[in-house]
Amino acid sequence: MNVSERLSQTAKEMPGKDAFIFQGERTTYQAFDTSVTKFASALRDLGYEKGDHVALISGNSPVFMIGLYGALRAGLTVIPVNPTYTSKEMGYILKNGDVKGVITLDVIVSQLDIIDENLKVEHYFVADTGSGINLDAYSISPKMKPFTETVGAGTTEFTPPSLEDDDLAVILYTSGTTGKPKGAMLTHKNIYSNAKDVAAYLEISESDRVIATLPMFHVFCLTVALNAPIVNGGTIIVIPQFSPGEVFAAARDHQATVFAGVPTMYNYLLQTGDGEEDSFKHMRINVSGGSSLPVSLLEAFEEKFKVNVSEGYGLSEASPVTAFNPLDRPRRAGSIGQDITNVKNKVVDELGQEVPVGEVGELVVQGPNVMKGYYKMPEETAVTIKDGWLFTGDMARKDEEGYFYIVDRKKDMILVGGYNVYPREVEEVLYQHPKITEAAVVGEPHPETGEAVIAFVVSEDPSLDEAAVVDYCGQDLAKYKLPRRVEFMEELPKNTTGKILRKNLRDQLSKKS
């Protein structure tokens, strides 16, 4: 079984059920499945064969959903790409990923036109966004095919190729925080097993209405807010781009029952004036992932909206989910929860040996969701996957009841005078300050202590100064953990999923030195 086959089954079981709602338009499972089959048929007629690679460069929309499932049904490998990337960033992925076809939007064509001569792309399937762009003006115009017309040219009389569990389904390029992005190769088994197991663990059913406002090209949304609902026949409320107002409106208008977001989204939802106490009154579950959710933010959100927020954990290389707080008992603030169905997590030392309960080590993962490896990077694969275990690079600990707690990224740990300082511990304290809305902590080289703790904060109160912030931290933190310097910013740098980019902050410091 794979996700495309499961879509067909769902369409037969509940043809008239809403698969997704986009900008007020409802699309049934039957209509969705028909478009997917026709696109797969059109791809075959254009010469695409099982194993060919296609890139999907689109925001949250039916184009993304039909393009993804249609290409998978045709036996192709899909490479989702962030549509906000620069031409250079897109070019690297398209070239490294050996892309034959690109599914995209007319507003992105200009960037693709710049890099086309270095690629081996045969077709650009371009969706019309109503922008009025003259596509004939670009050198790649002979390679362009209208997306909607291509789907329409296909037939429902299409027999998908035979697909094995180990066949490659998706290549997800990591964000490239250390060097060039790496392509995590996810098989059909990886993708389907994680969607099925997440749906089971979170008890997602056909009665659920799931808000998809996380970027669909990101694996968090791809599995939790797209594939998991489809596996069990839920309805997806597609929001093109995150905005607190849009989320609150969707939650009220469609009586949404599931919301998935990253900590920054929860912070914006909490800080904005758009939300009322009953905005999320139909929500059965709110999940957070992507990065650690500060406990103070979690508790403030729950108090304001009278809901529970369950934190989980995942990474691209694991399709992505490996742990979640259980639904059958109260969630534990600050914990990513326990093993989800069919997946094992453990904490190990530098020799790969499991450490005692309560001790900090590296989190490693094993299960049917773990990637095949990195595309064209056997050495990197060997370093990351050892004896069937995926080494995540995240430092964690486990308590006596099997709940895991992320301490921090291994590479983000700060060494001050021989003592380990985990940025998250300092950030948790900063988020408790009533005048601080956002915070991030990084290390900076220091001649005496090796490294020093530097805090970046966002505050709407201009009277807040460095001394006050350091004094506040001193109430809860040992002296060596205190920020040596506090930088005030209007906004912290983030990626398109809203994750705060510590690397950018470190780069900012290095430019000053």
Which DSSP string corresponds to 448-508?
TTEEEEEEEEE-S-TT--HHHHHHHHHTTS-GGGS-SEEEE-SS--B-TT--B-HHHHHHH
Please choose, from the candidates 80, 81, 79, 65, the residue with its C-alpha nearest in 3D space to the C-alpha of residue 4.
65
Distant-in-sequence, close-in-space partners of 491: CB < 8 Å, separation ≥ 6: 438, 458
d(CA 317, CA 228): 17
Q: How far apart are CA 292 and CA 422, in angstroms?
A: 12
Q: By CB neighbour count within 10 A (0-12 exposed, 13-18 middle, 19+ buried), where does 353 fall?
A: exposed
State how far the Cα of 453 lies from the Cα of 486, in Å rounded to an integer.
Answer: 9
pLDDT of residue 329: 86
| Eight-state DSSP code of residue 149 | H
Which three-class secondary structure state does DSSP give residue 397? strand
Q: Which pLDDT score, from 0 to 100, does residue 512 have?
A: 75
For residue 426, give the H/E element and its range: helix 423-432
Residue pair 450/476 in contact by the 8 Å Cβ criterion: no
Pick the closest to residue 168 from 393, 379, 319 (CA basis). 319
Cα–Cα distances (Å) from 83 to 64, 65, 174, 247, 264, in that order, read: 11, 15, 14, 21, 20
3-state secondary structure 249-293: HHHHHCCCCEEEECHHHHHHHHHCCCCCCCCCCCCCEEEECCCCC
**Rounded CA separation 135/148 (Å):** 15
Distance CA 413, CA 149 (A): 52
Strand partners, 102: 55, 124
Q: Name the DSSP letter for residue 113.
A: H
Is the separation of the CB atoms in 56 and 79 below 8 Å? yes
**Residue 424 CA from chain centroid, whole number:** 20
Predicted confidence at residue 179, as pLDDT, reads: 61
Tell me the torsion sign for CA atoms 310, 219, 64, 176: positive
Any idea which residue has 């139909």 for tokens? 282
Q: What is the pLDDT of residue 178?
A: 47
What does the DSSP 8-state code read for residue 223?
I
Instruction: Supply the pLDDT for residue 87.
Output: 92
Q: What is the pLDDT of residue 177?
A: 44
Structural domains for the chain: 27-163 (3.40.50.980), 413-512 (3.30.300.30)
Q: At 1, is the secondary structure helix, strand, or coil?
A: coil
Helices 423-432 and 466-474, interaxial angle, to 10°? 110
Nearest to 262 by CA among 299, 227, 307, 314: 314
Phi and psi of 2, rounded to 5°?
Answer: -135, 175
Q: So what's the pLDDT on residue 275?
A: 81
Q: Where are the beta strands (DSSP E) in 128-223?
A: 144-146, 168-173, 183-187, 209-212
Q: How many angstroms separate the Cα of 66 from the Cα of each of 33, 37, 45, 97, 468?
A: 8, 9, 17, 21, 53
Tens digit of pLDDT at every position of the chain (513 positions): 999 999 999 999 999 999 999 999 999 999 999 999 999 999 999 999 999 999 999 999 999 999 999 999 999 999 999 998 889 889 999 999 999 999 999 999 999 999 999 999 999 999 999 999 999 999 999 999 999 999 999 999 999 999 999 999 999 998 654 467 899 999 999 999 999 999 999 999 999 999 999 999 999 999 999 999 999 999 999 999 999 999 999 999 999 999 999 998 999 999 987 788 889 999 999 999 988 899 999 999 999 999 999 999 999 999 999 999 999 988 999 999 999 999 999 999 999 999 999 999 999 999 999 999 999 999 999 999 999 999 999 999 999 999 999 998 888 989 898 788 889 999 999 999 999 999 999 999 988 888 999 999 999 999 999 999 999 999 999 899 999 999 999 999 998 888 899 989 999 888 876
* H or E stretch at 55: strand 53-56
Check if the beta carbon of residue 462 is closer than 8 Å to that of residue 489: no
Give the relative orientation of helices 244-253 and 263-271 as an angle to the nearest 10 degrees.
80
